[in-house]
């Protein structure tokens, strides 16, 4: 069974910083479990590692797609599993770092995204069904039929392939089974999964400060460049938090202040959903960051625990 060390938690909690400590300690490589860091040119708003960090530590599944290219959890799992296998064969334990709960959980638990076979007629009926509803009606319908709340509604809406596939499943009476395919909290890897947490008010303050820093670092200009290069505001990539709002600002639809407020509000809501998502993964080892005096102290504790885990789970 392949081994993985994973770091999960809400946005802005400090996953990337800890991942560098672990990568340095174990002389290993990192796998990004982020739904938007895959896109080239989307650097600031996705909190992508800097060029220096990318050169210092080998990262996988970053900058692998154009912003107009669709991506999915199924594709992520396939690619990440191959990277993990390759690293294990070289006697290295990969560090999976991500806040996209579906991606992290799907990889660790081996979700099956296929479900029953789907015909093109069924897909077309599903597309027509989707077109009969407003966005609000569609969201209510999906939640009612599946008893599930999508962790990132905008991401699901932009991922038309998965949305149509989900609607097919609902129309066939398989909605709940489809969204829970592969669930069961049985990890398919020999994994040590780290969860980072902060008090809600501290996390929200970090989120607001990070958004301000991103804006000052040129995030609006990054979005303007993407639009100038022909990236559609309706593309899956541009549904990422902040890119949608800043696209409206660049096109003169809203003010920068209003865009910033909406980004912060949407990010806080996303962080809340992330916390809920990860809390239902019972195998996560949680570390409350407020219990540690510094990042060094936190990293030392995590490394001690992962060293102990590896001594009991040696790579063979």
Distance in angstroms (rounded) separating the CA atoms of residues 270 and 241? 9
Instruction: Assign 172 a pLDDT band (cuts: 50, 70, 90).
Output: confident
The CATH 3.40.50.300 portion of the chain extends over: 3-112+183-312
- Is the CB of residue 285 less than 8 Å from the CB of residue 305? yes
Note the pLDDT of residue 184.
53
- Asked whether 42 and 67 are in contact (CB, 8 A), the reply is yes
Share of the chain above pLDDT 70, in %: 95
Q: Which two tokens stand for residue 312?
A: 């009991």
User: Who's near 150: CB < 8 A, 6+ residues apart?
Assistant: 139, 142, 143, 156
Q: What is the Cα–Cα distance from 287 to 249, expressed in whole angstroms?
A: 38
Determine the pLDDT at residue 116.
59
Most confident of 58-72, 113-127, 154-168: 58-72
Output the pTM of the full model. Answer: 0.83
Separation of CA 205 from chain center: 21
| pLDDT (average), residues 117-135 | 88
Mean pLDDT of 156-172: 83
Report, as an integer, the average pLDDT of 257-274.
Answer: 96
Selected residue with higher pLDDT from 150 and 245: 245
The CATH code for residues 3-112+183-312 is 3.40.50.300
Give the Cα separation of 310 and 71 in Å (integer): 33
């Amino acid at each position: 069974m392949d081994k993985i060390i994973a770091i999960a938690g809400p946005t802005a909690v400090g996953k990337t910083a800890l991942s560098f400590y672990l990568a340095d300690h174990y002389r290993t490589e990192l796998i990004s479990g982020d739904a938007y860091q895959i896109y080239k040119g989307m650097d600031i708003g996705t909190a992508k590692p800097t060029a220096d960090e990318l050169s210092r530590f080998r990262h996988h599944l970053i900058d692998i797609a154009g912003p107009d290219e669709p991506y999915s959890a199924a594709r992520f799992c396939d690619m990440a599993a191959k990277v993990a296998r390759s690293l294990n064969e070289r006697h290295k334990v990969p560090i999976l770092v991500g806040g996209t709960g579906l991606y992290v959980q799907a990889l660790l638990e081996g979700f099956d995204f296929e479900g029953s076979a789907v015909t093109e007629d069924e897909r077309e009926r599903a597309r027509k069904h989707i077109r009969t509803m407003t966005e609000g009606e569609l969201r209510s319908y999906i939640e009612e039929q599946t008893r599930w709340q999508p962790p990132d509604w905008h991401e699901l809406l932009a991922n038309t392939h998965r949305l149509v596939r989900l609607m097919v499943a609902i129309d066939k009476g398989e909605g709940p089974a489809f969204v829970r395919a592969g669930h069961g909290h049985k990890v398919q890897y020999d994994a040590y999964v780290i969860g980072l947490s902060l008090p809600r008010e501290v996390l929200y303050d970090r989120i607001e400060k990070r958004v301000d820093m991103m804006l000052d670092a040129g995030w609006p200009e990054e979005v303007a460049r993407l639009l100038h290069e022909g990236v559609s505001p309706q593309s899956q990539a541009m549904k990422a938090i902040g890119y949608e709002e800043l696209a409206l600002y660049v096109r003169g639809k809203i003010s920068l202040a209003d865009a910033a407020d909406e980004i912060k509000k949407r990010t806080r809501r996303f962080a809340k959903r992330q916390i809920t998502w990860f809390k239902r993964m019972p195998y996560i080892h949680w570390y409350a960051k407020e219990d540690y005096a510094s990042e060094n102290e936190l990293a030392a504790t995590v490394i001690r625990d992962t060293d102990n885990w590896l001594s009991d789970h040696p790579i063979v």
